[in-house]
Structure 1
Amino acid sequence: MSDLDLQNQLKKHLNDSTAASYLISGGQVLIRLNAALDFAALILGIKKATVANSTDFSLICDDYGIETIRKITHALILKPYGHSKKVVVVKEAQNLTLPAQNAFLKILEEPYPNSVIILTAENTKQLLPTVISRCQLIFLSTQKSGLAEEKSYSNETIATFKAFLFGSLVERLDSVNRKLKDIEKLSEFLEIWIEILRDNLIENIDRVKPDDFKKARASIQEIKRAQSLLQANVNSRLVWDFLALNLPAMNYHF
């Protein structure tokens, strides 16, 4: 399933009228979470990159007991602050304990006004049938194309990227000097770096601090500026130096 296919599928669900709860299954864990964030952005009417910072968005992903249900209740009991709805995403809901699922059922049966709950699950076999029946189902294709395509990066590429992202200016410039033999590969590196940043932000969205989230977005913009410089035939070494000087220093390591 391509990005466009997914967007069209999600928009169709909204056009058919927004339900109170959805269950996204199929595909891989990162693909499901990515789809849930896309859907949350559409519901809130904001850009996907800003979803995690929205006061009307909550992500549940680190506790699957009764305490999780309390978190969901706390998130939804208040009226939306900056949007028409509040959205809660429960990542990999099949991990919810049986008592938690039974408690969760009450929220699904009597949803809070102006609220939307999005569950993701590897499969539906570990969820109570009554939980499933209260959700609109969205199934993602598992074929390896578009969003579902596996990505792999060489250790060298990731090491070079980390030297820039997390290193000091001296370390960044040293990395440039050591990578001069690959200077013509810069355009290829930049595209991969954007993919690495985006993939890891999505996969670890629950652990990224707001300040580092902003820096990651700024890094993507600087990398895109570097791509524009290359397309304008600016010397590759100068573009390397531009990146070394302009990429924000981040504290978040993946």
Structure 2
Amino acid sequence: MDFSGIIGHKNIIKELINAIEEGRFAHAHILVGEDGIGKSLIARYIALKILGKNRDTQCVDIIEWKMAKNKRSLGVDDIRKLIEEINKKPYEGENKVIIVYEAHNMTVQAQNAFLKTIEEAPEGTYIILLCENLDKILDTIKSRCQIHKLRVLSDSEIMDFIDKKYTHLMDEEKKILIAFSNGVPGRIERFLKDDKFNEIRKETLQILANSSRINKGKMIKYEKFFIENREYWEEILNSMISYVRDLMIYKELGIEKFIINIDKTNEIKELSNMFSFNKLSKLVDIVDETRKRLDKNLNPSLVFDMMLLKIQEV
């Protein structure tokens, strides 16, 4: 199986391949890294390697377990169904690979229900958990898995990714993408292809720009935007934090090359004059508190209303 199509993470990939080839591949692993860093790509290639496949093809013994789009967590019932699948015998050979997406969204109860299966997986069954936040995984789960942390890619690796996938781009466009990616290839794909992602970026920047003058009309407009996009709340908050980060960096250093949202450089420069460091720090606190409330499954409408009111007071 050729792993040359994966950009970066060479040491981790080499370690995993060697373990498979030497017959010491553990039955449970956690791949940790940001969304878009390459976790699912590595997991699939490793699964194919375990099953002895020489090319990327559909395989009934690779089970990719994903959270339903209308859900925000993996609960006990989800895990029970997954355990049933795990306990089924392989169809084609002796091995089977289970890839669990967004494992950090498992509830505590679900993780406890999954613990015994992770510890005593059926012979020939390998479990790979894909995780963005290791802190949300119980220590009892982590202690039973081999953990592999995927780091952000270097600028040269990101350039390799762009050159392979987007050969039509001009040099200036590539520079923008490298800065915006912040070492995460998936951010480039979303920037180029995901209209919803760019709508969220545009709207969150407007909210910051109007933060000191959010009148009743704008409040209703922003409330509507949040409600219509409540399933994207993580993207909304991440977008807002990335702008605040850029404002802090530019305000401190006055250097454009450190701006992540490089396509919004002019707006960042203008907004940097509107905010003091104290106000920017308060915005970070507001976003963090909003994230905690949404993590607790509180009513998104009420949570975003509260966030808007607090932003207005900054």
1:116 counterpart SS class: strand
TM-score, structure 2 length as denominator?
A: 0.44
From 188, 210, 227, the counterpart of 1:151? 188
Instruction: Mark the CA change 1:152 to 1:96 in structure 2 (over 3 Å): closer, same or farther.
Output: closer
146-155 or 72-81: bigger deviation: 146-155
What per-residue deviation string (whole Å, max 9, x for no partner) do you get for residues 109-156 of structure 1? Answer: 22111100000111210010000010011121213425644535887x
Structure 2 CA distance for aligned equivalents of residues 92 and 46 of structure 1: 25
Residue aligning to 2:82: 72
**Amino acid across the alignment from 2:47:** A
Residue aligning to 1:205: none
Structure 1 CA distance for aligned equivalents of residues 190 and 108 of structure 2: 39
From 106, 129, 132, the counterpart of 1:122? 132
Residue aligning to 2:39: 32
TM-score, structure 1 length as denominator?
A: 0.54
Structure 2 CA distance for aligned equivalents of residues 122 and 72 of structure 1: 20
Q: CA deviation at 1:6?
A: 5.0
Q: Which runs of 5+ in 2 are unaligned?
A: 1-6, 69-73, 162-183, 195-314
Whether 1:13 aligns to 2:19 is: yes
> For 1:172-251, what aligned pairs fall within 5 Å after superposition?
none
User: Which structure has the higher relative contact order (CA within 8 Å, separation 6+)?
Assistant: 1
Whether 1:55 aligns to 2:65 is: no
**Amino acid across the alignment from 1:7:** I
RMSD, aligned α-carbons? 2.7
Q: CA deviation at 1:9?
A: 3.1
Structure number with bigger Rg: 2
**Amino acid across the alignment from 1:74:** E
Instruction: Mark the CA change 1:99 to 1:93 in structure 2 (over 3 Å): closer, same or farther.
Output: same
Structure 1 CA distance for aligned equivalents of residues 108 and 90 of structure 2: 29
From 105, 109, 122, the counterpart of 2:115? 105
Count of residue pairs the alignment pairs up: 156
Q: Which runs of 5+ in 1 are unaligned?
A: 159-254
Residue aligning to 1:200: none
**Amino acid across the alignment from 1:44:** L
Q: CA deviation at 1:5?
A: 4.7
1:12 counterpart SS class: helix
Q: CA deviation at 1:83?
A: 2.4
**Amino acid across the alignment from 2:15:** Q
Q: CA deviation at 1:87?
A: 0.7
**Amino acid across the alignment from 2:19:** H
Residue aligning to 2:174: none
The runs of at least 4 aligned residues of structure 1 exceeding 6 Å deviation read: none
**Amino acid across the alignment from 2:48:** A
**Amino acid across the alignment from 2:142:** I
Residue aligning to 1:206: none
What per-residue deviation string (whole Å, max 9, x for no partner) do you get for residues 199-222 of structure 1? Answer: xxxxxxxxxxxxxxxxxxxxxxxx
**Amino acid across the alignment from 2:49:** L
Structure 2 CA distance for aligned equivalents of residues 39 and 22 of structure 1: 11
